[in-house]
Structure 1
Amino acid sequence: MSPRPARRVALVTLGCSRNEVDSEELAARLAADGWDLVDDAADADAVLVNTCGFVEAAKKDSIDALLAADALRGPGDNGPGDGESGDDGPGGGATTGQATASGGPRAVVAVGCMAERYGRELADTLPEADAVLGFDAYPRISAHLDAVLAGSAPASHTPRDRRTLLPISPVERGDASRAAHSPHIPGHIQLPGGGRVLPSPDGRPAANSRPATDLADLADVAGRAEPAGEGAAGTGRRRLTSSPVVPLKLSSGCDRRCAFCAIPSFRGSHVSRRPEEVLAEAEWLAGQGARELVLVSENSTSYGKDLGDLRALEKLLPRLAAVPGIVRVRTVYLQPAELRPSLLEVLLTTPGLAPYLDLSFQHASPAVLRRMRRFGGSTDFLDLLRRARALLPDLGARSNVIVGFPGETDEDVDILVNFLEHADLDAVGVFGYSDEEGTEAAGMAGHVDPEEIESRRAEVTDLVEQLTAGRAERRIGTTVEVLVEEVAGGLGYGCAGHQQADADGSCTVRLPAGGPPGGVSVGDLVAARVVAAEGVDLIAEFTGVLDRAGAGLASAGSAGAGSVLPPIPDGVGPMDAVGHPSGVA
């Protein structure tokens, strides 16, 4: 049999860090089936655009990325049937380039949230995309790309509300989500069994748990895994960047019914990953150079309810923080109404967890929050922050707020402003409301005029910039722990514990002339004294290295597992591979 010709693919990632994980799943599937991953879309046969479908601006960015990839085709090349290979598009994992002499990409394919949400409608209105594929196409992504290049693209799906695809009962849903013919949940990476059981915080083996995968086992399985593009039972993960800050999925989907949000309709109901899957992936990521794990989901505080243990996250976090090589674990997407006192205590008192709360307040007026189908208000939120700071006075706290929601009055805006003035948050995202089709809010009475929405957004944004800059200035004179992400020109760049990378500002560390003994490298955790602030960004003077990259793995028996986290080998199902703990021991 003649060898299959080389095929090149560029991955373009838009949107949130959850999409980054999904792209790395797709990359692993494609690499396992012989595709060469390229960084520049001008060098690819196919460009895979992982789209975002959250709000109008994100959807526009996704369409622009698809059009940019299409523009790279050679002259006269209108699709897979005519043209040669080439590459690139904008975004994570690939960058926009000029068409090469070989003719540019022959296929442009949309995946991700926007593709899942609109399916055939997007395909009909955007002929520049040769295929629009939903989440359930991911297990056979290689075969689908081959078909597109051969001129026989798979039909686009008709979107369905993915909340209807699994049982209503959370516990029943957890089992059903792992059945052979269940809907595909992107980023829920499943691993082969074997290796050692990670200990519980007291050092004893965890009860009711199956072994987590050892890095050496992962390296062994890599050579015998079923090709991911041909419908393997599980999937691996292939890192697309070398950043020491890496997202790790806790769960997917959401059971809340916020009136403004369409995400549950295309991401589905909440499904938690089993703790041993999360732990095994964390170990593998540490072996690949990860130093900070950012735990992502649609709603992290719901983790474990479908595993029969509402305190699953409280039990999992200390075990993640104990993974060799990991110096910081950060949990994001916390729902204030579900943040139990015991979970708050674990988040803010466990060594190795970031001194940080990412709290989705959305507003502070109780009346607006009720119309949003949310809970709480200014008094409740300030009390939550007070209790949090009693546990950890210098914690970082961030949130997002929406202004101009239907029915919002000037009095409601005043309540929000007063809350922000007293909350002392480190970072705040301010968004003007816009209708999302299919949501309850789109049909509500009392829509605010768009010009008034923009006026309110600008007013609150100006206030937030002043407040967060003042918060940063009050950190001058304090010592922060900075995870170094770049070193250049006598400076180290990264984030302190109260800063989430790419979201909450950053920290520039001035290194000593000639460098400290042993130098400073990407992935090092360093101590630095804050000497100045520019907005939310800090400038600090180096005082010492707290933990060097690679040092934590030296005694852990780390084996080089390569750059791909392998799938479950042929014949091993997800249930057999990781067991089914009744909770998290």
Structure 2
Amino acid sequence: MAGKVGFVSLGCPKALVDSELILTQLSAEGYETAKDYSGADLVVVNTCGFIDSAVEESLAAIGEALSENGKVIVTGCLGARKNADGSDLIQSIHPKVLAVTGPHATQEVMQAIHLHLPKPHDPFTDLLPPIGVKLTPKHYAYLKISEGCNHRCTFCIIPSMRGDLVSRPIGEVLLEAKKLFESGVKELLVVSQDTSAYGVDIQYRTGFWDGKPVKTRMFDLVNALNQIAREHQAWVRLHYVYPYPHVDDVLPLMAEFSDHGYGVLPYLDIPLQHAHPDVLKRMKRPASGEKNLERIQAWRAACPDLVIRSTFITGFPGETEEEFEYLLNFLDEAQIDRAGCFAYSPVDGATANTLDNPVPESLREDRRARFMAKAEEISIKRLAKKIGKRIQVIIDRVDESGGIGRTIGDAPEIDGLVRVLPPSKPSKRYRTGEIIKVTVISSQGHDLIAET
């Protein structure tokens, strides 16, 4: 009889991909996935440990799994966190967990599962789909191109948990992309800790794809993904792109999107974090505020349809009112389409904790609220310009009142939505995952209303 494993996946898209790898291996070895705690022989919890709220959520999830099931294996970023004395953080709080591993540790997790729930005999590996097990809807998927990060931002501890940058072989990445498209995926979301740095760790080594040599670097990867996506009438969306000069090279590919309707979307998710040069220096970010604004303006000139998403931090240690106002002015000048913001939160082990002049929590939150008000104002104005225009939308779900979809400028779960009114023909229904043309008739906050 096959053992049943429960699974809880927390954290970012990179962690989600780690979960998918573990679930794929479980399926390959003949294990079944339980739908609830009571039906599981043991539970795996994939944790996040980036900020305090994520740590609390992860610890609560572990506690719930222990209470409801009793047999728990922990993996993920929180698994790599240590107490000040070097002892394991999770086991000091939840000593009954069976095992703890760090992130990107499929084999270590499987070894722990084998120890506590021996694998079934003669697994039917041919029953495993070629794309593995996915936790996303069938029409979109995340494609992780590398692991780890070479930056040492003062507010971040990810390198201590996930290590330095390790790029996947480009042929392997492109083969996975092709298999995903062939399985019916219509939108591929490229993720990593630093997409722009792809290949730096291996000196842009030459790999092979489709019988031809191809460099392991960002432009070559995006160019190949663009071609594969067009062949399958699908989209590619780039996340976690640092604003390095060579990113300029992918803008012409994005500018071609309107001619085809498929390929690499004119969308960049760029984690800018701040705009004032002094704050960026304290953060040890690899770019300056002035150059960021110049680059964004140049990108928009090269690709007028470009949508830019970014995240920012308010109340970073030492941030003055003048520096915060500088950030608001930058937001206005750059016209960031989709902006997220976090009030600074100290993270155990981050060097920013030792910086002078910490900002009071109430002021951090106040600045975050002011930032989001400005961001919403910009978003509403930019969305209003779409009213009356004919645009493409990918349908995420269908109901009696039509469909819910996203534009080329909206990533799943973090950006806006499009409410598509029912088709004019009663016999017609939208299909989840299809890409359709709609006319925008109004906007509501960060979302749009459209009709076919």
Give the structure-2-normalised TM-score: 0.88
Separation (CA, whole Å) in 1 of partners of 2:225 and 2:426:
32
Q: Is the 8 A contact 2:146 2:198 kept in 1?
A: yes
**Shift of the alpha carbon at 1:136?**
7.1
Corresponding position: 1:345 with 2:264: no
The code of the aligned residue for 2:234 comes to V
- Alignment counterpart, residue 97 of structure 2, candidates 115, 120, 129: 129
Could you tell me which residue of structure 2 aligns to residue 24 of structure 1?
20
Q: Deviations over 1:87-134 (max 9, x none)?
A: xxxxxxxxxxxxxxxxxxxx1221111112347221121235332223
Change (3 A) 1:326 1:67: farther
Determine whether 1:336 maps to 2:304: no
Q: 1:536 aligns with which of 429, 446, 451?
A: 446
Cα distance in 1 for partners of 2:91, 2:170 equals: 38
Question: Of 456, 463, 467, which aligns to 2:367?
Answer: 456
Partner of 1:175: none
Q: Deviation digits for residues 287-328 of structure 1, max 9, x if unmatched?
A: 322110000000000012233338722112232233243510
Structure 2 counterpart of 1:268, which letter? Answer: G
Q: Which residue of 209, 221, 224 maps to 1:319?
A: 224
Deviates more, 1:245-254 or 1:139-148: 139-148
* Other-structure match for 2:212: none
Deviations 1:487-521 (A, max 9, x none): 1114121211011111111112123234576x431
* TM-aligned CA distance change 1:476 to 1:339, over 3 Å: farther
In the alignment, structure 1 residue 410 sits paired with structure 2 residue 321: yes
* Structure-2 residue corresponding to 1:298: 193
**Which residue in the other structure is 1:89 paired with?**
none
From the superposition, tell whether residues 392 and 475 of structure 1 become closer, same or farther in structure 2 (CA, over 3 Å): same
Structure 1 residue 419 displacement after superposition: 0.9
Larger strand fraction of residues: 2
Match of 1:470 in 2: 381
User: May I ask how many residue pairs the two structures share in their alignment?
Assistant: 426
Match of 1:111 in 2: 75
Indicate if the aligned counterparts of 2:142 and 2:188 stay in contact, CA closer than 8 A. yes
CA–CA distance in structure 2, aligned partners of residues 224 and 462 of structure 1: 50
Which of 180, 184, 194 aligns to 1:285? It is 180
Instruction: Tell me, yes or no, if the aligned pair for 2:395 and 2:434 is still in contact at 8 Å.
Output: yes
Structure with higher RCO (Cα < 8 A, 6+ apart): 1
Q: Residue deviations 1:519-539, cap 9 Å, x none?
A: 431111101111111111111
2:153 to 249, 258, 269: 258
CA distance in 2, matches of 1:495, 1:354: 12
Task: In structure 2, give the amino acid aligned to 1:536.
Answer: H
Q: 2: CA distance between counterparts of 1:49 and 1:378?
A: 39
Q: Distance in 2 between matches of 1:144 and 1:137?
A: 11
| Aligned equivalent of 1:479 | 390
Q: What does the per-residue CA deviation read over 1:374-403, in whole Å, with 9 as the maximum and x for residues that have no partner?
A: 244443222222111112212211111111
Match of 1:269 among 157, 164, 189: 164
Q: Say which is worse superposed, 45-54 or 61-70, in terms of deviation.
A: 61-70
Query: C-alpha separation between the residues in 2 aligned to 1:403 and 1:136?
Result: 30
Q: In 2, Cα distance between the equivalents of 1:59 and 1:338?
A: 35
Matched, 1:526 2:436: yes
**What is the match of residue 501 of structure 1?**
412
Residues in 2 aligned to 1:285 and 1:435: alpha-carbon distance in whole angstroms: 39
Q: Is the 8 A contact 2:419 2:448 kept in 1?
A: yes
Tell me how far 1:140 sits from its aligned partner: 4.5
- The answer as to whether partners of 2:44 and 2:75 remain within 8 angstroms in 1 is yes
Say which SS state the counterpart of residue 346 (structure 2) adopts: coil
Structure 1 residues 385 and 9: CA distance shift in structure 2, 3 A: same
Corresponding residue SS for 1:69: helix
Change (3 A) 1:339 1:479: farther
Residue type at the aligned position of 1:353: V
Task: Give the secondary-structure state (helix, strand or coil) at the position aligned to 2:81.
Answer: helix
For 2:267 and 2:384, locate their aligned partners in 1 and report how far apart those are by CA, in whole Å. 18
Q: Secondary structure at the match of 1:15?
A: coil
Which piece of structure 1 moves more, 408-417 or 422-431? 422-431
Residues 124/411 of structure 1: CA separation in 2 closer, same or farther (3 Å cut)? same
1:332-368 superposed Cα distances (whole Å, 9 cap, x missing partner): 0011145542233344446511121111111111111
Contact 2:11 2:47 in 1 (8 A): yes
- Which structure would you say has the larger Rg? 1
What are structure 1's unaligned runs of at least 5 residues?
74-78, 80-106, 151-220, 226-234, 543-585
The residue matched to 1:265 in structure 2 has which SS? helix
Q: 2:43 is matched with which residue?
A: 47
Name the stretch that deviates more: 405-414 or 371-380. Answer: 371-380
2:6 maps to which of 10, 14, 30: 10
Q: Structure 1 residues 53 and 497 mapped into 2: Cα distance closer, same or farther (>3 Å)? A: same
Q: Deviations over 1:13-44 (max 9, x none)?
A: 11111111111100011112221013333321
Distance 1:224 1:430, change over 3 A: closer
Q: Would the aligned equivalents of 1:243 and 1:485 in 2 still touch at CA under 8 Å?
A: no
Give distance in 1, aligned partners of 2:249 and 2:359. 40
Q: 1:452 to 1:342 in 2, by over 3 A?
A: same
Give the SS at the match of 1:414: helix
Matched-pair contact (CA < 8 Å) for 2:5–2:42: yes
Report if aligned partners of 1:41, 1:47 keep a CA contact under 8 Å in 2: yes
Q: Quick one: which amino acid aligns to residue 325 of structure 1?
A: H
- Per-residue Cα deviation, 1:528-573 (whole angstroms, up to 9, x for no partner): 111111111111112xxxxxxxxxxxxxxxxxxxxxxxxxxxxxxx
- The CA distance in 2 between the partners of 1:439 and 1:400, in whole Å, is 19
Q: Distance in 2 between matches of 1:480 and 1:528?
A: 6
Aligned to 2:423: 512
SS at match of 1:492: strand
- Alpha-carbon distance change, 516 to 529 in structure 1, aligned in 2, over 3 angstroms: farther
Gapped regions of structure 2 (runs ≥ 5): 119-123, 205-214
Which region of structure 1 is more displaced relative to structure 2, 359-368 or 123-132? 123-132
**CA distance in 2 between partners of 1:140 and 1:420 (Å):** 44
Please give the TM-score of this superposition, normalised by the length of structure 1: 0.69
